[in-house]
Amino acid sequence: MTSSKAPNVSGVESPGRRTVKSLCGMCAVRCPIQVEVEDGRVKWLQGNPNDKAMEASLCPKGAAGLAMEYDDERPQYPLIRSGERGSGQWRRASWDEALDYVAGKLKEVIDEFGGKGVALSDRGGPFADLTKSFLKALGSPNYFNHDCTCGRNAHHATQSVFGLGRTGAVYDIKNTKHLVLYGRNLIESLQVKEAKEFISAMSSGAKCTYIDPRASLTAAKATRYWQIRPNAEYALNLAMIHHVLAEKLYDAEFVERWCTGLDELRQAVRPYTLEWQEAHTGIPAREVRQFLAEIAAAAPRVIFHAGWMTARHGQSFYTSRTSHILNALFGAIETPGGVCLGKKAADAGKKDIRKLGDRIPKVEEPRVDGIGWKHKHWDDGPGLLHLLFPAIESGDPYQVGAYLIYRHDPMTALPDPDEQKRYYDKLKLIVSIDVNYSETGWYSDVILPECTYLERANLIASKGGLKPNFQLRDQCVAPRFDSRPAWWIFRELAKRLGVGEYFDFETIEEIWEYQLEGTGVSLKELREKGVVSLAGKPIMWDRADGLKFKTPSGKIEFISRKLDEAGFPSIAPFQPPSELAEDEFRLLFGRGAAHNHGHTMNNPLLHELVPENSLWLHPERAGELGIADGDLVEVMSDGYSAKGKATVTPWIHPDAAFMLHGFGRTVPLQTRACGKGMADQRLQKGLLTVYDPVGGGNALTQCTIRVRKA
């Protein structure tokens, strides 16, 4: 078996100029891009001009793709650990050697525990057919992704109301009259198209109410900002629903036609008046009353954003759930400027792409995290990664021995990396497939370097929305180092494990042809355009008779039968956040426009823009501690502390402290980022297995800290 040469897409090494349509890979939004290549080098990156909403632009991270590509501080060849885990001692390996090593260990695990003893997590998204198929071929149900620390609560909440996943609720921001955001920081935690739509709506006179304990740049663009007490917005939503029902501000016709459970909803929110919420949220009742009058006047062109990430506490699920109930009460469903229902290829009358997994027999084994059998109210797709850890420790319901990590960094993305290590130490094999040195990669047994997004091609992506489409990430240049694309890596492992028949593709073009068969879309067109839309215009269903909800009742469920069956209330009583001791702060976190999670901190350009994070503190609280703006502070949580600068500002709630996520890197080979700033996930001590019991997502904002001047 020879694996000495990277499997380049044909033509990629030809001299001269080429223009390639592809997808950005600097974050998981995957904006359509156009790449100018000259003599095998990337010269210019911009948004795909065919995509009108992109207007050829990129965000700062997208533009810094060039700096990432030509940076040498990334893994350049396979590495096998030669010292203790985490010791930073590695030896260089050839691909054959590294793959033989990984396959050998996987075989041992499979012989001992069966295929189900192999778990894998990745970044999810439209390319996950590859990793899911790999596991399926091994007979493992244990596919996980990042989502337990991202959108899971909002996902499950959206399912409980509409029967659709989180991304099945499509916000028509461009045409809205009033957008309500609960910490959804559209301007900084951005997707290029969405940020542009927001600015365009605001310049056409739309209003935005932004609710967040700290004022982000989105607050600066909003027409109203409420500095809400952290983790209390569910109280606000309950009271708003109460008021909307009591004052009959809702769209009775829409609710009568499409919603179930109105009477029970009315009953459930009876105790929660606008005055009641004031004590919990700090938002004056009269302001909420005025706000709801504005919303009622603008309805149905209004959006209560159910969140992507936002606050992550024990009742996040109910916050998202009640936001969608508010959307439904105002009739803001499947209407311009409201929340539209996502469509798939079939809704455009087209055949979707074929999956690699279609050819592989179904796995009958139960998931190790209990989802689908023990926990039936959760979607079994990517499960909940935090539930893998206790199973690794207890061997209940069965033993997992190997963990493959592809485009994921759990020691940055999940709380308390030190606690994670305890679990990892029970595994026989940990492999990281990454383009960077991740925190988890550094603690693993083998690092397999993937080619960067500019150096590789991916499977074709099928994307839902109002205009479902197919998208292609094409290869722009040959890899600079001894790295390989994921499809090749998993194929090579599959071959070594005796399931190569399911991955019998020599080139990515063969995979693309397989995927496109019968769809009516040609590879030629896809490569020319980068994105091929399956519908001429946005598909909107008829609100009189054509809406489709995949709930048990076929309607919008204010009261969910599925939740009932699982023993959870559809509208739970509000639980105030735990009391803070006098010297405690609730640690909040979020993103800035210049970085993506923890993997751009070492990018030469982005590092220059934002080299470290700081701790936001309210002047009153900072004053009590003798801390002035710019002072060095020590931030402490149970048994862990970090040092960084203080930003003293009234734009943060006095109960809270805030920092950007992703800093405080520890891998010494990332010389720019190593040791700079503070790592929020390391401060989240003891929270690895603390989660919202109904939504399933990690309760990250339940973290409390103490601060002193350093």
Ligand X SMILES: Nc1nc2c(c(=O)[nH]1)N[C@H]1C(S)=C(S)[C@@H](COP(=O)(O)OP(=O)(O)OC[C@H]3O[C@@H](n4cnc5c(=O)[nH]c(N)nc54)[C@H](O)[C@@H]3O)O[C@H]1N2
Number of residues in contact with ligand SF4 under rule CB under 6 A: 13
State which amino acid sits at residue 441: G
Given the DSSP bridges, would you call strands 656-660 and 461-463 parallel, antiparallel or unpaired? unpaired
Q: Where are the beta strands (DSSP E) in 544-637?
A: 556-557, 585-590, 614-617, 632-637
Distance CA 573, CA 405 (A): 38
DSSP for 324-353, written as a single string: HHHHHHTT-BSSTTSEEEPB-GGGGT-PPP
Helix or strand (DSSP H, E) at 431: strand 429-434
Q: Which stretch binds ligand X (CB under 6 A): 47-55, 132-140, 309-317, 327-335?
A: 309-317
Quick one: which of 8, 12, 22, 30 contacts ligand SF4 (CB under 6 A)?
30
Q: Of the candidates 556, 698, 571, which has an alpha carbon nearest to the alpha carbon of residue 159?
A: 556
Number of residues in contact with ligand X under rule CB under 6 A: 59
Residue with Cβ nearer ligand X (113 or 226): 226
Q: Of the candidates 706, 696, 709, 648, which has an alpha carbon nearest to the alpha carbon of residue 154?
A: 696
* Both tokens assigned to 567: 């023993």
Distance CA 460, CA 521 (A): 11
- Per DSSP, helices labelled H in 567-697 are 604-609, 619-624, 680-683
Residue with Cβ nearer ligand X (162 or 658): 658
Residue 570: contacted member of ligand X, Mo ion, ligand SF4, none (CB under 5 to 8 Å, by partner type) = none
Residue 483 binds ligand X (CB under 6 A): no
Residue 27 binds ligand SF4 (CB under 6 A): yes
Smallest gap, in angstroms, from Cβ of residue 177 to ligand SF4?
A: 26
Q: Which stretch binds ligand X (CB under 6 A): 93-101, 273-281, 304-312, 666-674?
A: 304-312
Residue 227 binds ligand X (CB under 6 A): no
Residue 29 binds ligand SF4 (CB under 6 A): yes
**CB-based contact 215:227 (threshold 8 Å):** yes
Smallest gap, in angstroms, from Cβ of residue 472 to ligand X?
A: 15
DSSP for 188-241, written as a single string: TS--HHHHHHHHHHHHTT-EEEEE-SB--HHHHHSSEEE-PPTT-HHHHHHHHH
Rg (CA), the chain: 25
Smallest gap, in angstroms, from Cβ of residue 27 to ligand X?
A: 5
Q: Which stretch binds ligand X (CB under 6 A): 178-186, 199-207, 255-263, 374-382?
A: 178-186
**CB-based contact 55:66 (threshold 8 Å):** no
Quick one: which of 9, 20, 26, 356 contacts ligand SF4 (CB under 6 A)?
26
Residue 370: contacted member of ligand SF4, ligand X, Mo ion, none (CB under 5 to 8 Å, by partner type) = none
* Both tokens assigned to 461: 């992506």
Which residues are near Mo ion by CB under 5 A? 150
Smallest gap, in angstroms, from Cβ of residue 194 to ligand X?
A: 9
Residue for token digits 């702060």?
A: 585
Residue with Cβ nearer ligand X (334 or 455): 455
Residue 209 binds ligand X (CB under 6 A): no
Draw the binding track, 371-390, toward ligand SF4 (x: CB under 6 A; -: no contact). --------------------
Given the DSSP bridges, would you call strands 556-557 and 259-260 parallel, antiparallel or unpaired? parallel
Residue 434 binds ligand X (CB under 6 A): yes
Residue 35 binds ligand X (CB under 6 A): no
Residue with Cβ nearer Mo ion (150 or 705): 150
Distance CA 112, CA 374 (A): 24
Residue 185 binds ligand X (CB under 6 A): yes
Residue 230: contacted member of ligand X, Mo ion, ligand SF4, none (CB under 5 to 8 Å, by partner type) = ligand X
Residue 601 binds ligand SF4 (CB under 6 A): no
Q: Which stretch binds ligand X (CB under 6 A): 5-13, 132-140, 166-174, 307-315?
A: 307-315
Provide the sign of the torsion angle of the four alpha carbons 172, 178, 182, 184, taken in this order: positive
* Both tokens assigned to 454: 């500019």
Quick one: which of 33, 130, 299, 309 contacts ligand X (CB under 6 A)?
309
Residue 670 binds ligand X (CB under 6 A): no
Distance CA 170, CA 338 (A): 8
**CB-based contact 559:265 (threshold 8 Å):** yes
* Both tokens assigned to 529: 């355009």
State which amino acid sits at residue 689: T
Q: Which stretch binds ligand X (CB under 6 A): 223-231, 239-247, 276-284, 512-520?
A: 223-231
Quick one: which of 99, 138, 154, 192 contacts ligand SF4 (CB under 6 A)?
192
Q: Which stretch binds ligand SF4 (CB under 6 A): 36-44, 188-196, 452-460, 613-621?
A: 188-196
Distance CA 381, CA 460 (A): 20
Planar angle of CA 640, 641, 642, nearest 5 degrees:
140
Strand pairing partners for 214? 652
Most distant CA pair in the chain, distance: 73
Residue 124: contacted member of ligand SF4, Mo ion, ligand X, none (CB under 5 to 8 Å, by partner type) = none
Judged by DSSP in three states, 529 sits in helix
Residue 435 binds ligand SF4 (CB under 6 A): no
Which residue number has the CB closest to Mo ion? 150
Which residue number has the CB closest to ligand X? 183
Residue with Cβ nearer ligand SF4 (474 or 655): 474
Quick one: which of 208, 240, 288, 433 contacts ligand X (CB under 6 A)?
433
Q: Which stretch binds ligand X (CB under 6 A): 239-247, 294-302, 463-471, 596-604?
A: 596-604
Distance CA 99, CA 121 (A): 18
Smallest gap, in angstroms, from Cβ of residue 567 to ligand X?
A: 26
Judged by DSSP in three states, 286 sits in helix
Residues in region 148-177 near ligand X by CB under 6 A: 149-151
Q: Which stretch binds ligand SF4 (CB under 6 A): 20-28, 336-344, 362-370, 559-567?
A: 20-28
Quick one: which of 48, 227, 322, 436 contacts ligand X (CB under 6 A)?
436
Smallest gap, in angstroms, from Cβ of residue 189 to Mo ion?
A: 8
* Both tokens assigned to 629: 């703006």
Residue 407 binds ligand X (CB under 6 A): yes
**Percent helix, strand and coil across the chain, each to the nearest 5:** 35, 20, 50
Helix or strand (DSSP H, E) at 256: helix 252-258
Residue 444 binds ligand X (CB under 6 A): no
Smallest gap, in angstroms, from Cβ of residue 261 to ligand X?
A: 25
Residues in region 49-68 near ligand SF4 by CB under 6 A: 58-59, 61-62
Residue 591: contacted member of ligand SF4, ligand X, Mo ion, none (CB under 5 to 8 Å, by partner type) = ligand X
Residue 126 binds ligand SF4 (CB under 6 A): no
CB neighbour list of residue 62: distance below 8 Å, 6 or more residues apart: 24, 26, 27, 31, 33, 45, 47, 192
CB neighbour list of residue 448: distance below 8 Å, 6 or more residues apart: 78, 98, 99, 102, 431, 432, 433, 434, 484, 489
Given the DSSP bridges, would you call strands 556-557 and 640-648 parallel, antiparallel or unpaired? unpaired
User: Which residues contact ligand SF4 (rule: CB under 6 A)?
Assistant: 24, 26-27, 29-31, 58-59, 61-62, 190-192
User: Which residues contact ligand X (rule: CB under 6 A)?
Assistant: 25, 27-28, 123, 146, 149-151, 182-185, 188-190, 211-214, 216, 228, 230-231, 233, 307-311, 406-409, 412-413, 433-436, 438, 450, 453, 588-591, 593, 595-599, 658, 661, 680-681, 684, 700-701
